[in-house]
């Protein structure tokens, strides 16, 4: 495990400039805070380009206690927590192509779960920790797959050569998998919509969410879904709907792309990626969209945040 040195890399001559930039960004970002307004539970894993490679990083919900878990020289991204918070599953190119890997929460004991010579990525645990849903091109197009948590018994759940299926997420009760798909859309624009299916791949149905949707996540009680969408035109924003797709609310409504949302364990906050200040950063907001906080505050590329259970 490597301690983070990213926040100590501003040149000495740039201290005054850094202060000016911080004030400017705060003003430009509609008075976004530079620190948390209250203590929050859990930890946040995310992807950061620290030197040249994407690496998995963990921090406390206030942006402090930053730890780099993966080594320079390896491309690792898309972290997601096990239900007990003891492990992190992620995508890695360390063996030459994208595969699903898992490691302990401190970065130790890393091991590969898939070895197929195709792109396997975007893994998420089932609530009981026994299964992992992920995305793969091993049958041609991108489909949603399911496997045991040890990497065995891989099954193609969507098996749709005519569509692109991405971003699988289990519902908190484990009875449903939410995912994004281009099925049913105009092939010319390839717009993604939200779909549901049972964990065995049956019962696929589309949620009534219009205008495109990516990176969905359930609230911890399963009553809400957050996702990124450009449904109003322009940059993606963070939207929230009821679990049935009704009552859409724009939570961010801010210049700059906002995407990849994830709820806090207590359901009071949402962490997400944003480019509102230029370089991608990790922000948090309250679940009603208020109180935006910049958690990373670096010149580095920080995205793909996931809040621990």
pLDDT in tens, the chain (309 residues): 444 545 433 233 233 323 332 333 333 344 444 444 557 889 999 999 988 999 999 999 999 999 999 999 999 999 999 999 999 999 999 988 999 999 999 999 999 999 999 999 999 999 999 999 999 999 999 999 999 999 999 999 999 999 999 999 999 999 999 999 999 876 556 789 999 999 999 999 999 998 889 999 999 999 999 999 998 888 899 999 999 999 999 999 999 999 999 999 999 999 999 999 888 999 999 999 999 999 999 888 999 999 999
What's residue 24's pLDDT? 33
* Sheet containing strand 205-206, strands side by side: 165-170, 177-181, 193-197, 205-206
Residue 98 sits in which domain range?
A: 2-307
Q: What is the CATH number of the domain that holds 74?
A: 2.120.10.30
171 in Cβ contact with 194 (< 8 Å): no
Backbone phi and psi for residue 217, each to the nearest 5 degrees, phi listed first? -150, 145
Burial of 51 (0-12, 13-18, 19+ CB in 10 A): exposed
Which tokens belong to 184?
């049913």
Q: How far apart are CA 31 and CA 28, in angstroms?
A: 7
What's residue 210's pLDDT?
83
Q: Kindly report the three-state secondary structure assignment for every residue of 109-157.
A: CCEECCCCCCCEEEEEECCCCCEEEEEECCCCCCEEEEEECCCCCCEEC
User: Encoding tokens for residue 280?
Assistant: 């991608």
pTM for the whole thing? 0.86
- Please answer whether residues 297 and 278 qualify as being in contact, where contact means their C-beta atoms are separated by less than 8 angstroms: no
Domain count, the chain: 1
Alpha-carbon gap, residue 251 to 255, rounded angstroms: 12
Output the pLDDT for position 27.
33
Q: Where are the beta strands (DSSP E) in 176-298?
A: 177-181, 193-197, 205-206, 214-218, 224-229, 237-242, 249-250, 258-263, 269-274, 281-286, 293-294
Query: Residue 37: CB partners within 8 Å, gap ≥ 6?
Result: 291, 293
Four-point Cα dihedral 122, 167, 135, 280, nearest 10: -40
The sign of the dihedral angle between the CA atoms of 18, 59, 235, 238 is: negative
In degrees rounded to 5, what are phi and psi of residue 246? -90, 170
* Among 58, 68, 33, residue whose Cα is nearest residue 284: 33
Distance CA 161, CA 101 (A): 26
């Amino acid at each position: 495990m490597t301690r983070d040195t990213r926040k100590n890399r501003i040149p000495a001559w740039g201290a005054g400039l850094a202060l000016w930039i911080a004030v400017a960004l705060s003003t430009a970002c509609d008075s976004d805070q530079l620190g948390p307004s209250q203590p929050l539970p859990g930890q946040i894993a995310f992807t950061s380009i620290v030197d040249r490679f994407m690496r998995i990083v963990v921090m406390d919900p206030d942006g402090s206690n930053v730890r780099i878990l993966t080594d320079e020289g390896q491309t690792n991204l898309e972290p997601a927590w096990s239900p007990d918070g003891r492990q992190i599953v992620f995508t890695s190119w360390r063996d030459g192509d994208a595969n699903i890997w898992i490691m302990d929460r401190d970065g130790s004991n890393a091991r590969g779960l898939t070895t197929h010579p195709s792109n396997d990525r975007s893994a998420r645990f089932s609530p009981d920790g026994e299964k992992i849903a992920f995305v793969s091109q091993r049958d041609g197009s991108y489909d949603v797959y399911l496997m045991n948590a040890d990497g065995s018994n891989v099954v193609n759940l969507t098996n749709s050569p005519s569509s692109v299926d991405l971003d699988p997420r289990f519902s908190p009760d484990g009875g449903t998998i939410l995912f994004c798909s281009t099925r049913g859309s105009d092939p010319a624009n390839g717009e993604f919509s939200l779909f549901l299916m049972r964990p065995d791949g049956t019962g696929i149905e589309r949620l009534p969410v219009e205008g495109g949707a990516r990176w969905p996540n359930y609230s911890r009680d399963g009553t809400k879904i957050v996702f990124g969408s450009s449904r109003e035109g322009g940059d993606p924003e963070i939207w929230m709907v009821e679990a049935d797709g009704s009552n859409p609310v724009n939570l961010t409504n801010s210049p700059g792309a906002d995407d990849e949302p994830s709820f806090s364990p207590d359901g009071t906050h949402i962490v997400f990626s944003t480019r509102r200040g230029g370089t991608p950063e990790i922000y948090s907001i309250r679940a009603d969209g208020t109180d935006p906080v910049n958690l990373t505050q670096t010149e580095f590329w920080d995205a793909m945040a996931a809040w621990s259970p």
